[in-house]
Amino acid sequence: MRNILVVIGIVGAALTAAGAPPPESSVDTLTVVQEGNSVWVRQGERVLLRYRFGEVPYKPYVEELYTPDGIDILRDSPSDHKHHHALMYAIKVDGANFWEEHNAPGRQAHRGLSNLKTGRVKDTPYARFTERLDWIGPESDKVLLQEQRTVTVFDTSATEPALITWESRFEVPAGKEKAVLGGSHYHGLGMRFVKSMDTVGTFITPTGELGELVKGDEHLTPAPWCAYTAPANGNMVTAAMFDSPGNVRHPALWFTMKEHFAYLSATLDLWRNPLEVMPGKPLVLRYGVALWDGTADKEQIEVTYQRWLKLAAPSKNQ
């Protein structure tokens, strides 16, 4: 069984202005290139990830994410929830809603790309890009939060799965007293799956059990990781999300549901316990996603999680 590991970390602080990124960078078989409103990461001719930052009304997001056999597991803006954008990060900031996209939502404004590059870290090829965003409230152009978001794709295909890291830094803008993070019980890093994965899959946790029942079949489960396995367009796939031990409120509370449609998100319990971000103290979050062609069991997921913990750790040489 082959698998792709997508590592997503979210950290928050403003990025200093940088020059225009190069149009493309490549090392070995990995390339990263900006094309129109998107950044593409490819391994040879095969697409690993498409990140969309332009011509989006409210938030940039990972629009396409493929298993090693070329199956895209993500669904963007379905008719039942137009604001579900594939793999996205959204919460409330100072009461402004950045998740739903009606009734005057906030918006994550793209402020630039930089650092499109390839190289090696720990003898592993990687491709990387960085985006700057301002989280802007609905009532004015006031910036409520600033973010630096960096996506790194590792190529370990010779012996191990491909790996991707997404790091961000959230920071309070200059002159602002604080930012209060809140939201619903499902707000955080969320993944909407393709339609064929709805209602029929199985959630997997380290203990084999789901946690607190909120309503319907919506659970919140504290765990270092959570996975979902289901058929994607006729082929079984498994998608796991990982929480870093360095994240605030680790382990994450995983929101899961499949009764009407399948959804998985990493949450911080912000609906009951809002979190304050103070000036000079950036919030650092790091999450991971792993994709298998086929069904992965708990042991396989745990092995990949442990590998992710080693490869996703920040390095001064990266």
Neighbouring-strand partners of residue 66:
72
Cβ neighbours of 196 (radius 10 Å): 18
DSSP 74: B
Per-residue pLDDT tens over the stretch 175-209: 999 999 999 999 999 999 999 999 999 999 999 99
φ, ψ at 31 (rounded to 5°): -135, 150
Asked if pLDDT for residue 20 goes beyond 50, the answer is no
* Residues 214, 215, 221, 227, Cα dihedral to 10°: -160
Asked if pLDDT for residue 74 goes beyond 50, the answer is yes
Q: pLDDT confidence of 256, banded at 50, 70, 90?
A: very high
The pLDDT value recorded for residue 121 is: 76
* Residues 155 and 30: beta-carbon distance below 8 Å: yes
Per-residue pLDDT tens over the stretch 127-137: 889 999 999 99
Q: What residues contact residue 82 under an 8 Å CB cut-off, 6+ apart?
A: 101
The pLDDT value recorded for residue 165 is: 77
CA 152, 145, 52, 77 dihedral sign is positive
Instruction: Go through the domains of the chain in sequence order and give each one's CATH number.
Output: 3-311 (2.70.98)
Omega into 251 within 30° of 0, i.e. cis? yes
Asked if pLDDT for residue 2 goes beyond 80, the answer is no
The pLDDT value recorded for residue 304 is: 85
Range in 98-107, 147-156, 212-221, 297-306 the model is least confident about: 147-156
Asked if pLDDT for residue 16 goes beyond 70, the answer is no
Mean per-residue pLDDT of the chain: 87
Write down the pTM of the prediction: 0.90
138 class by beta-carbon count within 10 Å (0-12 exposed, 13-18 middle, 19+ buried) = middle
C-alpha distances out from residue 7 to 81, 140, 167, Å: 25, 34, 9
The pLDDT value recorded for residue 24 is: 59
The pLDDT value recorded for residue 214 is: 97
Asked if pLDDT for residue 39 goes beyond 70, the answer is yes
User: Which two structure tokens, joined as six digits, stand for 98?
Assistant: 């950045």
Asked if pLDDT for residue 1 goes beyond 60, the answer is no
